[in-house]
Structure 1
Amino acid sequence: MKRFGTALVVGKFCPLHRGHQYLLDRAQAACEQLVIVSYTRPEFPGCEPERRERWLAALYPRATRLVVDDARLAAYGVALPPNEASDEEHRAFVAWLLREVLHVDVEAVFTSEAYGDGFAASLSRAQGERGGPAVMHVCVDAARSAIPVSGTAVRADVHRARASLDPLVYGDFVRRVAILGGESTGKSTLAAQLANALGTVHAAEYGRELWEHKQGRLVADDMLPIARTQVAREEQLAPTAQRFLLCDTTPLTTLLYAQAMFGHACPELEALAQRPYDEVLLCAPDVPFIQDGTRRDEAFRAWQHQWYLRELAARGVRYRLLTGGWQARTAMALGLLSAPAI
């Protein structure tokens, strides 16, 4: 039998790291229902509410989760307390969330902090005013000896601290690099070479694989599955990547072929083609065209390049144009990726 009916953990989780997970795991093992509340003001880059929700949902699907910001509280006419607000202000805010938003009483609050006893006492008073239970504080690894990690240290260099993050969380800090270009501009070779040089992985072009499997007999209904699979590959590989994930084409490429081959694309494919990337590298058609038996011709390659230029401009996507010979464009790409992100 569990020690508590309902237990509470409150944190910024910016980002969610293994120290947080140790606390959450201990709380979940001790209660029938775990309540997780996350908020911060200000927000931290890369740890937006949507991401924190996704991390918590994936790792703690059985918990009751509440991630809030000012936008989500606007309907209640309430604003988040700033991180530097007094303990009492934060305690009153959490008590309000439990009462007015979650409609739940808790029997225990789990923390790794010295403020835990006062937090539990404050929640006890708030719940007691309406006949609710007293709240016990359960302190977990206050010395941080079990999992010696801090959010500040992780934020300082998330890649150096990747061992302190679940792969699912780390994957959200990997920079996705899209490699686009017409046929015979070296995209696939470049993706593999860059991944090798950077010590990471690349998402291979699924559309080409399906084309070969079907011996060139693609139909319009193949286009959406191609884009979906390409995205799924990226999501599967991101947690295993190191700093960068090289993406050999994107759903934008699938949209190009849907329009070129069939004259139309479904709304979902149009939406997937809006998928953002941290860097976009466009390979110029200024290298010799090599006919491998599967490609069309140089005129089509030129048309593809103009299509990319037009579409990227229309979508307001910043891109880097790679020119010159094979070695030159590889060196150019490595130089661009080694520069600080802006």
Structure 2
Amino acid sequence: MNLYKRGLVVGKFCPLHQGHELLINRAQDASEELLVVSYTRPEFSGYEPARREGWLRAQFPQAHIVVLDDARLAALCAARGVPSRALPHNDDDGELHRHFMGWLCWTVLERPVDAVFTSEDYGSGFAQVLERHYASGPVAHVSVDQARTLVPVSGTVARQDPHAHGAFLSPIVRADFVTRVCVLGGESSGKTTLAAALAAHFETAWVAEYGRELWESQDGILVYDDLLKIGREQLRREAQALLAARRWLFCDTSPMTTYFYCVEMFGKAEQELAQLAEHGYDLVLLCAPDFPFIQDGTRRDEDFRARQHAWYQAELARRGIAFVDVSGSVDDRVGQVARLLVRGVD
């Protein structure tokens, strides 16, 4: 049975970690309605409002989520016909933050609360300010794991290195900090071998080429509609693999390759496939065609490989996508990429 009509949780959520999730879950269980507000001034790079909002909405779809920066607050005030104000600075006095939140709930959102849930020592004073100035009745303060015994992490610590503290982040949050590496190359240029070798080297996940899997399952026959299916499924599998990846995810090919084959085979491509081909990565590797060409029954010939490699070079340049050439043996290539990633190419 809910103890409160409307609960409130406020935080930066930079990043959203399991301590925050414990707090929000407790508040949600105790409230008929839950309001979750996130703001920070200044913003932290990599923790933009849209990203934080995505995490909160994914994890707490039943809550009323409000993620603010100055522009979002101004737009919200304009829609309600309320004069706007600037967000408080993180270093401003706590009393200013309390009155800001009271004004936001009472005047802008028209959602006064009767309970505040925090893991901080300011909670009681926060509830008192709301009760005195921005509520029509009592406002309770509910403290949740203030000593950090259940979830021993803070946002400040997790923000310093989200990978090192990944155990305290839900998969959907952790996935946003994974560096996605795409491996491209012509036929028989070693890209699949390299993707698998890099995943083994870094003890993380990799995404195999779905197009090849489908081609084999259909006895070497692909029709036009299959290419869009391949592009969609390739990205779906990438998204799934991100949830299990550790720091890096290695992707054997991308929808750009699917787009190439679609135009090569059928002379045209669906607009959606062309859009999928714009899918971005943090690092793109282009495998040199310096392996002996191996005909495994699925490939064209060495001339086609050279033409495909040239197409990648031209197309990546045309799209303004930076890429790194990798060459030599598998060990040579793994070493080249490892040095890049350790230096922080992300």
Q: Which runs of 5+ in 2 are unaligned?
A: 78-83
Q: Map of 1:243-282 to 2, 5 A cutoff?
A: 243-282=247-286
Q: Which residue of 2 aligns with 1:322?
A: 326
Aligned-pair distance for 1:179? Answer: 0.4
Is 1:198 equivalent to 2:205 in the alignment?
Answer: no
CA contact (8 A) 2:283 2:345 kept: no
Q: Does 1:286 align with 2:293?
A: no
Match of 1:59 in 2: 59
What's the offset of the Cα at 1:101? Answer: 4.2
CA contact (8 A) 1:195 1:201 kept: yes
1:114 is matched with which residue?
121
For the residue of structure 1 that corresponds to 2:152, the secondary structure is coil
Alignment of 1:289-300 (within 5 A): 289-300=293-304
Please show how residues 1-342 of structure 1 align to structure 2 within 5 Å: 1-75=1-75, 76=77, 77-128=84-135, 132-341=136-345
- Kindly provide the amino acid, as one letter, of the partner of residue 272 in structure 1: L
SS in structure 2 of the partner of residue 309 of structure 1: helix
Deviations along 1:189-234, one digit per CA (max 9) or x if unpaired, are: 1111110011111011101101111122212211222111111111
Superposed displacement of residue 80, structure 1: 2.0
User: Secondary structure of the residue that 2:284 maps to in structure 1?
Assistant: strand
What is the Cα deviation at residue 300 of structure 1? 1.5
Once the two structures are TM-superposed, the CA of residue 79 in structure 1 deviates from its matched residue by 2.8
Aligned Cα root-mean-square deviation (Å): 1.6
Question: 1:134-160 CA deviation, whole Å, 9 max, x = no partner?
Answer: 321111122222211111111222122
Equivalent AA in structure 2 for residue 66 of structure 1? V
**d(CA) in 2 for partners of 1:92 and 1:303?**
65
CA distance in 2, matches of 1:269, 1:92: 50
Question: Is the Cα contact below 8 Å between 1:69 and 1:80 reproduced in 2?
Answer: yes
Instruction: Report the Cα distance in structure 2 between the residues aligned to 1:302 and 1:286, rounded to whole angstroms.
Output: 10
Residues 127 and 134, structure 1, Cα contact 8 Å, conserved in 2: no
- Rounded to whole Å, the distance in 1 between the matches of 2:310 and 2:85 is 50
Q: Which moved more, 1:85-94 or 1:312-321?
A: 85-94
Task: Find the residue that maps to 1:149 and give its secondary structure.
Answer: coil
TM-score (norm 1): 0.94
Structure 1: which 4+ aligned runs deviate by more than 3 Å? Answer: none
Number of residue-to-residue matches in the alignment: 339
Q: Give deviations 1:262-300, integer Å, cap 9, x for gaps.
A: 222222222221111111111111221111111111222
Distance 1:212 1:3, change over 3 A: same
Distance (Å, rounded) in 2 between the aligned partners of 1:333 and 1:263: 35
Q: Deviations over 1:28-84 (max 9, x none)?
A: 111111111111112223222222112111211111111111232233343322211
Distance 1:319 1:159, change over 3 A: same
Moved more, 196-205 or 82-91: 82-91
How many Å separate the matches in 1 of 2:237 and 2:301?
Answer: 29
Which moved further from structure 2: 183-192 or 223-232?
223-232
Q: Which runs of no fewer than 5 residues in structure 1 stay unpaired?
A: none
- Matching residue's letter, 2:184: L
**How far, CA to CA, are the matches of 2:202 and 2:273 in structure 1?**
31
Letter of the aligned partner of 2:139 in structure 1? Answer: V
The whole-number CA distance in structure 1 between the counterparts of 2:129 and 2:267 is: 64
Residue in 1 that maps onto 2:81: none
Contact 2:103 2:134 in 1 (8 A): no
How many angstroms apart in 2 are the aligned matches of 1:303 and 1:74?
Answer: 53
Give the letter for the 1:6 counterpart. Answer: R
What's the TM-score once normalised by structure 2's chain length? Answer: 0.93
Tell whether the 8 Å contact from 1:41 to 1:82 is kept in structure 2 after alignment: yes
Displacement of 1:100 in angstroms is: 4.5
Q: Which one-letter code corresponds to 1:297 in the other structure?
A: D
Identity percentage over the alignment?
Answer: 55
Q: Cα distance 1:126–1:268, how it changes in 2: closer, same or farther (>3 A)?
A: farther
